Amino acid sequence: MSGWQTLFYKEVLRFWKVSFQTVAAPVLTAVLYMLIFGHVLEDHVKVYGQVSYTAFLVPGLVMMSVLQNAFANSSSSLVQSRIMGSLVFLLLTPLSHWSWFFAYVGSSVVRGLLVGTGVFIATAFFATPVFVAPWWIVVFAVLGAAMLGALGLIAGLWADKFDQMAAFQNFIIMPMTFLSGVFYSIHSLPAFWQGVSHLNPFFYMIDGFRFGFFGVSDVSPWLSLGIVGSSLLVISGIAVQLLRTGYKIRG
């Protein structure tokens, strides 16, 4: 295997060895969301005409799980390696910054998609799955996981301790995820909050992903694709630049 493939394999193995915590636990959390929100709001919230609220909720929970776990994978790995001092062994290798980027982001995509698949299988028992445009599902799942994996790299390089990492996740990732339309259509919001939602790139990831299931969405999937793709390029560019300069990992 080449250098980046070896690092990629090491990162995948890292989360897989504790898969009960990194894969099974997020699936259980999503099922609990489904049980609570689906049961309480099924008869009170109507979206997309004939689409039931439970069916509407499934893609949102799947994508939310993909994004959160992709971010957690790269960010936790970097922070843990820096605190434990094991990152120095990677610095001794001739791996380029691109190798680091593809290995960390690639493993984050794998974890995100693995958790997302588990959530989909578990929640499919609550609503019959529909796939109107499956390629949109794949595209937004991969782009979203890659974007959050790159964002996790940035956060992992910035944070000096677990407290800072937790603050990044609790005050940035979680609010942006929950306010992105996971549990509701933004058309149900007042005009002001609809405008705020349109400033959230997470909204476009989830809305485009949901379009692949139902063929309808709050905005055009092409607009969502353009915004998500542009956001991915910007965040990836920042992450690669930080790796290239050795930000907080080289003296």
Q: What is the pLDDT of residues 86-130, one digit of tens each?
A: 888 888 888 889 999 999 999 999 999 999 999 999 988 888 888
In this structure, is residue 251 part of a structural domain?
A: no
pLDDT at 75: 94
In this structure, is residue 149 part of a structural domain?
A: yes
Residue 179 has pLDDT above 60, yes or no: yes
In this structure, is residue 159 part of a structural domain?
A: yes
Is the full-model pTM beyond 0.85?
Answer: yes
Write out the residue range of the structural domain in which residue 13 sits.
Answer: 3-245
In this structure, is residue 165 part of a structural domain?
A: yes
Total of domains in the chain = 1
Residue 155 has pLDDT above 80, yes or no: yes
pLDDT band at 195 (very low <50, low <70, confident <90, very high): confident
In this structure, is residue 32 part of a structural domain?
A: yes
Q: Tell me the mean pLDDT in the region 202-208.
A: 94
Note the residue count of the chain.
251
In this structure, is residue 207 part of a structural domain?
A: yes
pLDDT digits (tens, 9 = 90+) for 38-50: 777 666 666 766 7
pLDDT at 128: 80
In this structure, is residue 250 part of a structural domain?
A: no
Residue 251 has pLDDT above 60, yes or no: no
Cα(211)–Cα(189) distance, rounded to whole angstroms?
Answer: 19
Residue 235 has pLDDT above 70, yes or no: yes
Beta-carbon contacts of 11 under 8 Å, excluding residues fewer than 6 positions away, are: 73, 77, 103, 104, 106, 107
Q: Tell me the mean pLDDT in the region 71-84.
A: 91
pLDDT at 46: 66
pLDDT at 91: 80
**Across the chain, what does the average pLDDT equal?**
89
pLDDT at 98: 93
pLDDT band at 226 (very low <50, low <70, confident <90, very high): very high
pLDDT at 95: 87
pLDDT band at 147 (very low <50, low <70, confident <90, very high): very high
In this structure, is residue 53 part of a structural domain?
A: yes
pLDDT at 18: 93
